Structure 1
Amino acid sequence: MRNTVKITTAVLAAAGLTFGLAACGSDSGSGSGSKDSASDPLVVAASPTPHAEILNFVKDNLAKKAGLNLEIKEFSDYVTPNTATEDGSVDANYFQNQPYLDDFNSKKGTHIVPVVTVHLEPLGLYSSKLKSADAIKSGATIAIANDAVNEARGLKLLAANGLITLKSGVGNEATPADIAKNPKNLTFKELEAAQLPRSLADVDAAVINGNYAISAGLKPAKDALVLESAKNNPYGNFLAVKKGNEKDPRVLKLKKLLTSAAVKKFIEDKYDGSVIPSF
């Protein structure tokens, strides 16, 4: 995934101030939140869609009244938001789910913790060539994410819809090697999650994360051949910080705003079932 960052001039200036403060942080490495006052900007790393859109709604409509100075930095990859939160370059992030974070912390030695779950983006199977999952032919090529958690999640979606059968007891690190039955002899093309929408012209179908599907103009609730169920789903996306910063007054303000009735209505109205509030 390319670390493409969209930063407005205002955000760049605010981020520069935050970076300077973080460099002078305490030896505990708890990040910028433990040092900044409640009036300083809270800099949040986020995926462009829907995370940054939801944060911008909060910034434009709710933050000022709540006394929160909110700045948003957009990243298109799934790595930089966590590493930036860990090193104090940003105060928080909003883009990921618990299985992904658990895997990231374990492999990278980071100390990121969730604050509050905000929404679910159902994972979907999409195709520019086929109208239904039943139309997938023997030998078809399916593109899936190449990071551990999203690859397993994609395989579980295919299994839940009868396209493959996974080995018993397979967890959140499943790969195509863990397929027990593949009746249609599907071939899997493993790509970075952000590249999956662009792969649709080259494969028969692709399992795409909700945020990347929406960014590509797809409507999960309408366009997906099969869509992940929201019931008992562990993949809700949350606001996260470095451990020790959970009680930062600015973080607590954002936590309250992100789970407000106004944000719930915004999500329901704007995304029409393609993004689902989790509160």
Structure 2
Amino acid sequence: MKKGLLTAIVFLAVALLAACGSEESSGASEGLYDDEKLVIGVTAGPHEEILEKVTELAEEEGINIETEVFTDYVMPNVALDEGELDLNIFQTEPYFNAIREDRNLDLVKSFDTVTFPMGIYSLDVGDVSELPEGATIGLPSDPTNSGRALLLFEQAGLIELDPETGINSTVRDIEKNNGNYEFVELDSAQIARQLEELDAAAINTNFAIEAGFTPTEDAIFIEPKDSPYINHAAVRAENEDDEIIQKLADIYRSEEVKTFIEEEFGGSLVPSW
């Protein structure tokens, strides 16, 4: 009798432990969606507006999104790495790779989103050929966008770069400065606001739109539509394969969102799908 009772108690204890383990496993499998919402970081401007549309469509699928808006390129990755965000959507792969390595961030690329062609803007001239000798030209100070801007200046015929430096070009790699231009490196988010103090500047499209420019109309030179600088979403490595990420990717890359981008931004942004 006692032996039977002891066996029953042991069996019950094992069953309870197994049940607890099952519940824990079930919770872990939910990944990012344990708290019933996704916190997504974006930069102010077009990324924010596109995510608003995505949020509307996601709600129809039972997915709740909370948006955090940033005005710089560094903090969205830091916040994601530290767990304050579940996902961010704002950056190109070259920039992502550079900051991930520089800050040792455990993040991975998720899905492609849109391309923002970088443009050259000026309040004084209507074409790059009109820039005066010795003009002061602004460009982003972060390495990835700086190299991108220099390649844009080369495409515009302003300079010639060391052909071996490519995307990693710096102002030191300018081999020929056709107009004896002075290049000034500035924070990406501030360049549009400082354009009055410059003859021209390379400005990322999201900041140009935020400043009231229409890239396809106001830029005096703009990247071609086959630009390799596609933006993408990023997540922590541990969440790379979470089911909710694929669901979000499908919503973001839907025909509804594509139509919204084309109608809202008139070619200034290019869907990557």
TM-score bracket for this pair, using the shorter chain length: 0.7 to 0.9
Corresponding residue to 1:270 among 261, 264, 272: 264
**Deviation at residue 111 of structure 1 after TM alignment:** 2.1
CA contact (8 A) 1:98 1:235 kept: yes
**Structure-1-length-normalised TM-score:** 0.85
Corresponding residue to 1:227 among 218, 222, 228: 222
In the alignment, structure 2 segments of 5+ residues that lack a partner are 1-27
1:187-206, aligned counterparts within 5 Å? 187-206=182-201
Report the Cα distance in structure 1 between the residues aligned to 2:166 and 2:134, rounded to whole angstroms. 26
Runs of at least 4 residues off by over 3 Å: 32-39
CA contact (8 A) 1:127 1:204 kept: yes
1:111-130, aligned counterparts within 5 Å? 111-130=106-125
In the alignment, structure 1 segments of 5+ residues that lack a partner are 1-31
**Structure-2-length-normalised TM-score:** 0.87
Structure 2 equivalent of residue 45 of structure 1: 41
Corresponding residue to 1:176 among 152, 167, 171: 171
Structure 2 equivalent of residue 84 of structure 1: 79
Structure 1 equivalent of residue 63 of structure 2: 68
Which residue identity lines up with residue 270 of structure 1 in the other structure?
E
Q: Aligned to 2:139, what secondary structure does the other structure show? A: strand
Cα-to-partner distance string for 1:144-175 (whole Å, 9 max, x where unaligned): 00000000000000101111000121133311
Q: Aligned to 1:185, what secondary structure does the other structure show? A: coil
Structure 2 equivalent of residue 12 of structure 1: none
The structure with the larger Rg is: 2
Report the Cα distance in structure 2 between the residues aligned to 1:48 and 1:34, rounded to whole angstroms. 30
Report the Cα distance in structure 2 between the residues aligned to 1:203 and 1:37, rounded to whole angstroms. 47
Cα-to-partner distance string for 1:49-104 (whole Å, 9 max, x where unaligned): 111111111112x1112121111100000001001111111100000000001111
Answering whether residue 235 of structure 2 is matched by residue 236 of structure 1, we say: no
Which residue identity lines up with residue 185 of structure 1 in the other structure?
N
Report the Cα distance in structure 2 between the residues aligned to 1:86 and 1:144, rounded to whole angstroms. 28
Structure 1 equivalent of residue 7 of structure 2: none
CA contact (8 A) 2:32 2:244 kept: no
Structure with the larger helix share: 2
Structure 2 equivalent of residue 97 of structure 1: 92
Structure 2 equivalent of residue 255 of structure 1: 249
Structure 2 equivalent of residue 164 of structure 1: 159
CA contact (8 A) 1:33 1:91 kept: no
**Deviation at residue 39 of structure 1 after TM alignment:** 6.3
Which residue identity lines up with residue 263 of structure 2 in the other structure?
D
Cα-to-partner distance string for 1:220-252 (whole Å, 9 max, x where unaligned): 011000000121x22111111011212222222
| Residue correspondences, number | 246
CA contact (8 A) 1:112 1:241 kept: yes
Q: Aligned to 1:96, what secondary structure does the other structure show? A: strand
**Deviation at residue 36 of structure 1 after TM alignment:** 4.3
CA contact (8 A) 2:151 2:166 kept: no
Report the Cα distance in structure 2 between the residues aligned to 1:144 and 1:153, rounded to whole angstroms. 9
Cα-to-partner distance string for 1:91-139 (whole Å, 9 max, x where unaligned): 0000000000111111111122111111001000000011111101110
CA contact (8 A) 2:132 2:179 kept: yes
